[in-house]
A = this chain, B = another copy of it.
Amino acid sequence: MTVGTIRPGGRTARVRAAVLRAAGDALVEHGFDHLDLADVARRAEVGKTTVYRRWGTVAGLVADLLTDMAEQSLPRADTGSLIEDLRANARLVQRTLVDPRQGALFRAVIVAATCDPRAAEALHRFYAIRIAEWAPCVQQAVRRGELPSSTDPSEVIRAVSAPLYYRLLVSGDPIDEAVADRAAEAAAAAARAGVYTSTNSPN
């Protein structure tokens, strides 16, 4: 065997999978702070040296967890109506954030992103992917003539999620279906009013 060969197969991949799963569990239970890499190693039935060598810090581990999460994506809706599509998106986000496990996970990775550049990079890529996945439903609405032609699709999708994350992280207000629906309606109303057109350069 030649020198310098990388060995991603078999054991290495198995260890990574076990550690990431354990990291998710530990994050949900203890949160981003109070997260002990030795505890993660124990849960994953893996040497703690391995965890420290491969991931180094809690933030590094979370960054890898996010990269892994970005790979599994959910299909977007396509109902033929902008408001219905946006509502579907808003409710998907709402259910995710309200879910005890998923919600805690998202909080944890967002926290990690504010502490570590790699985690931040992974988080931003994650949302860039998610937003790009849903942008087509705005583009279709433009083609159908529901929205101004120069509407920025990403901006509309971001506008749907923003109020939900604001509640999760900032105001702490409850995130129910009514809130999700209002977020979708608000984004649609603003888009229709031309707020998200690229020609709209406010003084």
Contact = CB atoms under 8 A, between A and B. Distances in A.
Interface residues of A, number: 51
Nearest to A110: B169
Contacts of A193: 185, 189, 192-193
A88 to B, nearest CB: 13
Contact of A165 (B127, B166, B195): B166
A111 interface: yes
Interface of A: 31-34, 58-59, 87, 107-108, 110-111, 113-115, 120, 123-124, 127-128, 131, 155, 158-159, 161-163, 165-167, 169-173, 177-178, 181-182, 185-187, 189-190, 192-193, 195-196, 200-203
